[in-house]
Every structure is written in C-alpha cells, then in structure tokens.
Amino acid sequence: MKEGCDSSTEEDDWVEEEDMFVPATAVAQASCSTEQKAQASSSQPSTSDQTPNCWPYSRPHLYAPATAVAQASCSTQQEVQMFSSQPSTSDQTPNRWPDPRPQVYAPATAVAQASCSTQQKAQASSSQPSTRDQTPSQCQNDYGTYIDLIHETSDEDNDDDLYSAIIASIEDQTQPKEDIPISQILNELSDKIDSLQVCKFNINRSAVLDGAIRGFRRLSYDPNKKMSVKFSDDRGTTEEAVDLGGPRREFLRLLMETLAESDMFEGPEGHLNLALSSSAVREDRYFIAGRAIAVSLVHGGPPPCFLSRTLFACIAEGPDGCRPVLEDITDMELYSKLKQISEAKTLEELRQFTEPLTDYLATAGCLRHLTSLVDKDKLLEDVLMFQVVQRVRGPLERFSDGLGTLGVLQKIKHHPEAFRPVLCYSPGTLTAEIMDHLFAIRWSEMGSNNRAHENRVVAYWRDYLQDAEEDEGPPKLGDILSFATGCDVMPPIGFSPKPSLEFQRGRYPIANTCVNCLRIPLHQSYEDFKSNMDFAIRNTQGFGME
C-alpha cells in the first residue's frame, strides 16, 4: 500500500499477494483547524470503467472495503490521510466476462482516533489480512462468516435437500447408538404408513413369491400405503375375507418361508447366506427379497430369522466389515478341501492341500507362492471373503437396496443389536406362559351360568398350552398362534389389536385373524377339547372356511 499520496489523479497501485488483490486508493485528505473533524467513508467499487477482456478468476474474489473514520483535534498544519482497500477498476480492460457466482462483499471498518500535536500526522490504512498471520480462532470466525454468506446468497432449489442430507449424515455419525427396543423403532417407521391408501395383492398359496413380485412391481405400489391381501385357493376361487390385518400377516409369514427356500439363499436352516443365481440377478429378485423383509417388519408381519451372522454383518457394517467363517461355505467339496488346508501342520502339507485348488485360487485371485505356514491364515481369509462375500457383491448391493425400503436399512445400521435377533436365527421364545398372557380373556358377567362354563374351559385352555409346549415345544405353540392371528411368531412391531380369547358353543374353535380373536369351544371334558382343537388347527387353511 502506498502512503503519503495526495488527492491528485495519480493511478492506484495494485499489490498481488496470495491471490488477493489489495489496491491502495486515497479516499480523503483533510486540512482542518482545531475545531474541525475529518470523516471519510468508503463506497462500493465502480464498474463503469471495466473492460470486458479479463478472464474470470478461478476462485471467488472477496472484496473487503475498509471504511476509515478519523476524528482528530489538530492544528492547521495537521493532515489526516486515509486509505481504503476498495479495488479500482478504472484500468481493467472492457471485455470482462460476467462472473456467474454471487459477489460477496465483506466490509472491514477501520476506526482511527488521533490526538496529535502540530508536528504529528495520523494515518489510517487497511488492507486484506494475510492468512499466515491469522490465529485459529480468527480462521474459524472467517469460515463461519463464509458459511453464513453462502447461505444468504444461495438460491438453488435443492439447497434444503442438501442441507438436510448433510445434517442427517452428521447426526448418524455423532449420535450414540442407544439400546432402543425393536418395537419402538419399527413403530416410528410404521407411523408413516397411510392407512387411507391401499395397495392390493392377489395371492395364491401355491405361488406366494410370484404374487408378491407382481404386487411389488405394480406401478401403483407404494410401501407407505396400507397392504390389502386377497387369497385364492388352488381352484382359483376367491376366499371370502376382507383384509383387516389377518390375511396380510399370513401372506407375509408365507412370504418369509418362501424366501428362505428360494434359490437366492443357501446354507443350513436358520443360517443362510446369499447364493449366486443368474436368473434372480436378471429378474432383480434380490431387491424384491430385501423389500419383502423390510415391508414385513414395518407392516406388522413376522421377522425372517434366517440370515446368517456373516450376512447380517455385511448389511449392518458393509461387506468389508464382515469376517466369514469356514461354516459359511455351502459347497461341500470346497469345504472339505479348505478344511484340510486349515488343519495343515507343515509347509509341505499346506502346499500339498493347496495344489488341487490351483484353478479355483487363480479364478478367485488368491493364487500365491506359499513360503511359510504363516501364509495359511491369510490364504483362508481371502478365499472365504471371495466365496461368501465378493462373489455375490452385486446381489448383496441389490438386497441391501431393497432393505432400504421404508428406512429399514438405515435403522439396521444405526441399531444393529436391536435388529440382530429378528433377522438372524434365534431359538424359539414362545412358551405356554407367554401365550397365556398374550390373549386377553373376555369373560361373561360374574355370577352368570356362562361364567361357570368359561372358568372350566379356561383351565382346559391353559392345560392345552402346557401340553403343546411339552410335546412339541415352540413349533406347536406357533401353530396355535398362527391359527388365531396369522403369525406363527410374535411380530417385532407387536400385535394390533391385542389378541383376545372368547367362548362359543360349537365343536371346533373359530378364529378371526383380522381382530386377532380366538373363540374356543365350551366342552365338558378336556379330552374332547384337546382333540377338537388339534383337528381344527392342523387341518384348517384359509379364510372364510369352516
């Protein structure tokens, strides 16, 4: 910056430092008496003399004008000189292209007060600050100012969406993963479902997956709408049932069973990994499978409970975060050869057991020269990652995309421990005591004749539950629950409404799965009660049938 310049027409000098242009412009020069005051202010840069042939600079220019205000008590010989940092554009060539970015002016105000004698001069000048001299707190303040200015000047339509996405990402990384019950998480997601809008599914029990694929691919399908399921029997006749919850739960139960038996999964029961199926890839059925699981969880259906812990880790933590084990290998021939490699005791044995797998290792990218027995563990780890994870990377991505329906995948990643028991295998938790407390008994009036019969039959009911647990365990209790509600396990989201137990004077029990109501017969003996209950539960399938 130039000092001591007068008010003549001398041209301003430009100083270039670290891509910041700091001109020196004389704004005010005053000669005042003892009672006079000099005040000078800076104004916006004039662009009238700009010439258009300057290419726009690649980074945004921040103009920081300096306003100097001087108050001085000085003699006739005192001078106050003030310099502002507004750039002069009078020397720029006229063909400058317009800068499409918003120009942001950040004024800097310099205030100088001087009391000087006859031989003193007060000079105030401002310039752009050098970033080398800024403290960390100053840098933070500058960055905050920059963000505020960009927020004020931006008018893009998608700013709100971008801002929301950034905030959501930050919250996901910073929020502690609290232990929240799975029912609370799923109820939050189900609150978004519009019960006034309906998506219809027409299902045949002999081809549940086909009906589900048709329904999910229908253009009018929206996972945020309520599901309405109508079954037809094997002859194609429509069952007389209006879906108030029961048909939907049964459809989702049958769908989970069908998925576990499909060609998209492989492995022992309850510990399934993704299988590679070219037809499933071509038809995008992996996405349908993921969507079906997400919809079942949020719409009140049963959990799958058949994913392996390796597959769950791939979903919750990403493919690179899982560690497959030897038991994840479903190809028995490959399993036996890898088992031999894992049991090798010497380097010679390791090379001997690896030899038959040369072609496979080359295809998997795991072929290497083995120099010591230590190489065994790394070789097995790479082979397992290829066979279980990398080989099905594409299907895994589509399966995860399907799980993203209704926001389920995000919740899985944020609360993995809450979702693990409902996605992976867990031992049956149904007991006679749970079933007894699950159903609310609707009694007749105290002291009535019906109440006496009901007291007797309720004892039969509890004995029946106890015998079912001792004879066959959770599967038999699951059949009873499925007969009454359409679900053979308790949905993670819970039952709505709560299951109830009523009484009727027929021979066999009657269930209304839409309202989760089971009507049991008023028999005189326990043997008649048990035999008729077993017959109805094992031989009744469908709705509107007796």
The number of domains in the chain is: 4
Does residue 175 form part of some domain? no
Residues 267 and 405 in one domain: yes
Residues 331 and 310 in one domain: no
What's the whole-number mean pLDDT along residues 116-145? Answer: 46
CATH number of the domain that residue 484 is part of = 3.30.2410.10
Mean pLDDT of the chain, nearest integer: 76
Does residue 174 form part of some domain? no
Residues 115 and 7 in one domain: yes
Residues 90 and 23 in one domain: yes
Residues 210 and 235 in one domain: yes
Distance, CA of 34 to CA of 492 (rounded, Å) = 87
Comparing 6-10, 169-173, 438-442, 469-473, the range with the smallest average pLDDT is 6-10
Q: C-alpha distances in angstroms, 173 versus 254, 315, 321, 403? A: 37, 17, 17, 20
Does residue 147 form part of some domain? no
Contact 478, 488 (CB under 8 A): yes
Residues 266 and 412 in one domain: yes
Distance, CA of 248 to CA of 203 (rounded, Å) = 10
**Residue numbers of the domain that contains 493:** 432-539
Count CA within 13 A, CB hemisphere, residue 380: 24
Structure confidence at residue 160 (pLDDT): 57
Q: Is the peptide bond before 497 cis (omega within 30 degrees of 0)?
A: yes
Task: Show Cβ contacts of residue 254 under 8 Å, excluding neighbours closer than 6 positions.
Answer: 203, 205, 208
Q: Virtual CA dihedral for 206, 209, 214, 217, nearest 10 degrees?
A: 170
Does residue 159 form part of some domain? no
Does residue 144 form part of some domain? no
Contact 69, 5 (CB under 8 A): no
What's the whole-number mean pLDDT along residues 262-281? Answer: 95
Nearest to 39 by CA among 105, 112, 108, 88: 112
Where does 157-297 show beta strands of DSSP type E?
Answer: 194-204, 225-232, 265-266, 273-274
Burial class of residue 77 (count of CB atoms within 10 Å of its CB; 0-12, 13-18, 19+): exposed
Confidence at 44, pLDDT banded by 50, 70, 90 = very low
Scored b (16 or more CB within 10 A) or e, 192-201 reads: ebeeeeebeb
Q: C-alpha distances in angstroms, 183 versus 241, 299, 418, 421, 490? A: 28, 12, 9, 12, 11
* SS3 assignment for 62-80: CECCEEEEEEEECCCCCEE
Task: Show Cβ contacts of residue 235 under 8 Å, excluding neighbours closer than 6 positions.
Answer: none
Does residue 179 form part of some domain? no
Q: For residue range 446-485, what is the model confidence (pLDDT) as tens digits?
A: 988 899 999 999 999 999 999 999 988 888 999 999 999 9
Active site positions, annotated: 514
What's the whole-number mean pLDDT along residues 419-438? Answer: 90
Does residue 264 form part of some domain? yes
pTM over 0.75: no
